[in-house]
Amino acid sequence: MNTEETNKNSNFIRDIIDEDLKSGKHSEVVTRFPPEPNGYLHIGHAKSICLNFGLAKTYNGRCHLRFDDTNPTKEEQEYIDSIKEDVRWLGFDWGENEFYASDYFETLYEWAILLIKDGKAYVDDQTADEIRENRGTLTEPGKNSPYRNRSVEENLDLFERMRKGEFKTGEKVLRAKIDMASPNMNMRDPVMYRILHASHPRTGDKWCIYPMYDYTHGQSDALEKITHSICTLEFQDHRPLYDWFVENLPVPAVPHQYEFARLNLTYTVMSKRKLLKLVKENHVNGWDDPRMPTISGMRRRGYPAESIRDFCERIGVAKANSTVDFALLENCVRENLNKNALRFMAITRPLKVVLTNYPEDQVEFFDADNNPEDPNAGTRKVPFTRELYIEQDDFMENPPKKYFRLFPGNEVRLKHSYYITCNEVIKNEDGSIKELHCTYDPESRGGSSPDGRRVKGTLHWVSAAKGVKAEIRMYDHLFNSSNPEKAEEGKDFLDNINSQSLEILANAIIEPELCNVAPGTKMQFLRIGYFVADLSHTKEKPVFNRTVSLKDGWARVQRNQ
């Protein structure tokens, strides 16, 4: 165990583990990350992944990857594969410790029979609506099922026939017999098994009854001898049920459940049901849409895995729910990319500049730093020609005071190259600007003048002759509201969707070298933001996604507090 790291990143779960190891309660640490394969993982899961795998690493233990695959109607192999990819991409490896709740179906079935024989489980014929209606409320006890006092023999017979497929989906369930008057609703004879005539991704048609999550979860932990079962706060009221099953079954180990606060993020929804709705109704372009809070979406948007781990470390582990500003996540991304991303020039909204005193057929190459933050990143050659492109926003015909970019009569510096002065504005018939005619100062090569004169504006540019047309996708928050789940009366979270969350710039111009980067390559476009080559990026059709802007929103928020 790394004591220095433990002290630095201390939290209440680490304190518990320290005490357990010190007292001899446990001699090793075994955690698990137990996703349900019914959707893609999101940033909230990343927090759990980093916590569980991180604890195992800190204490030289192990972390299991276990799929709680108990609902074949919602689970797919696609989700299993995506979960594995996401965990690996975040930097974690479960080695040989890959498990599935479906591996334990036979054991769970046998243990259910033991509970029936002990008079602690019974088969109920009530419908789901009737069970819900008779469950009671927070202030009123539930009502016993009319089938609660069936004999052990009858329950054993019915449960066996349930397994054999003699009944229709939903016709019967197996319930634990606990206490219908319990103040904890989860203890009011919870359902253990339901009938589902559905093929399972791993067990096929072997089963037509499937165990419920609450019954499966703790027993799977026990079978794997998990020492610290860590979950989010919404499962706190489920812990007595978790313990009840463990105490009433011949489990090989007795795990304990610990709860921590889940991650809530502004401008984001974390519900798998709502994320699935976004995908199925085509509000986004799949689970890996860069606007989605899924790990695959953030990967496609260009978020480095290191920055997500850094974010999870910074927000820490708490016992009370809270909401984290999305700007903190962006700040972690920005800090990482500022150190590691190579710099290039790209023009998102081109405006042509013609240097009237520059030789028509001449091409020069200027050395440009690949990353001023990294002296070892080297330089690259950038072609310079008579005709260039600059950003439309970098020119104003009638500028306000303290506008230091290009305007008629003003001189600016072109990054890495020359000083230029705007002499004439050429317009189209409709009055829009067609191009600018400028002159360059050949004595200012490299971006400085021998006479010592200084200019206040520096612009980026791309050669019109050598530049390449590209598609640039400018992404913003998917929702307008910082709390999209809090909708007005009569509306839902979909009414908060930001119609401007994606802007496609199909006529952008980039340095020619950018055509050769591989999909997934991260870079900074000077003065614009951080970008990544999309998965669809090719040399013939370059496509880039904006990862995050250059502005540090989190630092601004901190200064204003």
Name the token pair of 432.
């829009």
- Contact call for residues 385 and 337 (beta carbons, < 8 A): no
Across the 561 residues of the chain, what is the mean pLDDT of every consecutive 10-residue run?
46 94 96 96 96 96 97 94 98 97 98 98 97 96 98 98 97 98 97 97 96 96 97 94 97 95 94 95 97 98 98 92 93 96 97 97 95 91 97 96 95 96 96 97 87 90 98 97 82 92 97 96 97 97 97 54 49
The CA-based dihedral angle spanning residues 440, 443, 444, 448, taken in that order and rounded to the nearest 10 degrees: -160
Q: 272-342+470-560 domain in CATH 2.40.240.10?
A: yes
Name the token pair of 138.
């927070």
Burial class (CB in 10 A: 0-12, 13-18, 19+), 428: exposed
Rg of the chain on CA atoms, in Å = 31
> Which ranges in 141-271 belong to alpha helices (H)?
152-164, 213-223, 239-247
E-strand ranges in 151-241 read: 173-176, 191-195, 209-211, 229-232
Cα–Cα distance, 233 to 507 (Å, whole number): 48
Cα–Cα distance, 95 to 42 (Å, whole number): 22
Q: Provide the pLDDT for residue 2.
A: 45
Beta carbons within 8 Å of 429's beta carbon, 6+ residues apart = none
Three-state secondary-structure class, residue 265: strand
Helix (H) or strand (E) holding 521: none
pTM more than 0.95? no
Cα–Cα distance, 202 to 81 (Å, whole number): 13
Name the token pair of 255.
């795990």
Burial class (CB in 10 A: 0-12, 13-18, 19+), 101: buried
The CA-based dihedral angle spanning residues 504, 509, 510, 512, taken in that order and rounded to the nearest 10 degrees: 130
Euclidean distance between the first and final Cα of the chain, in Å?
Answer: 38
Residue 479 DSSP one-character state: B
CA 274, chain centre distance (Å) = 14
Q: Can you list the pairs that 392-396 forms with residues at least 24 positions away whose Cβ atoms lie under 8 Å? A: 392/349, 392/350, 392/351, 392/433, 393/349, 394/351, 394/459, 395/351, 395/422, 395/433, 395/436
| Strand-pair partners of 422 | 438
- Contact call for residues 189 and 148 (beta carbons, < 8 A): yes
- Contact call for residues 210 and 170 (beta carbons, < 8 A): no
Closest CA to 54 of 236, 260, 238, 300: 260
Cα–Cα distance, 539 to 511 (Å, whole number): 12
Cα–Cα distance, 110 to 165 (Å, whole number): 17
Name the token pair of 54.
């991180």
Closest CA to 115 of 156, 157, 166: 156
Closest CA to 301 of 313, 292, 309: 292
- The domain limits of the chain are 3-260, 272-342+470-560, 346-460
Active-site residue set: 36, 262, 272
Q: Give how far Cα 192 sits from Cα of 171, 333, 500, Å.
A: 14, 44, 46
Q: Provide the pLDDT for residue 1.
A: 44
CATH topology of domain 346-460: Ribosomal Protein L25; Chain P (2.40.240)
Domains 272-342+470-560 and 346-460 share a fold: yes
Cα–Cα distance, 39 to 276 (Å, whole number): 7
> Which ranges in 316-454 belong to alpha helices (H)?
326-340
Closest CA to 381 of 430, 345, 329: 345
Q: Provide the pLDDT for residue 36.
A: 95
What's the CATH number for 3-260?
A: 3.40.50.620
Q: Which residue has the tokens 């449960």?
A: 159
Cα–Cα distance, 339 to 559 (Å, whole number): 23
Name the token pair of 475.
């992404």
Cα–Cα distance, 215 to 404 (Å, whole number): 67
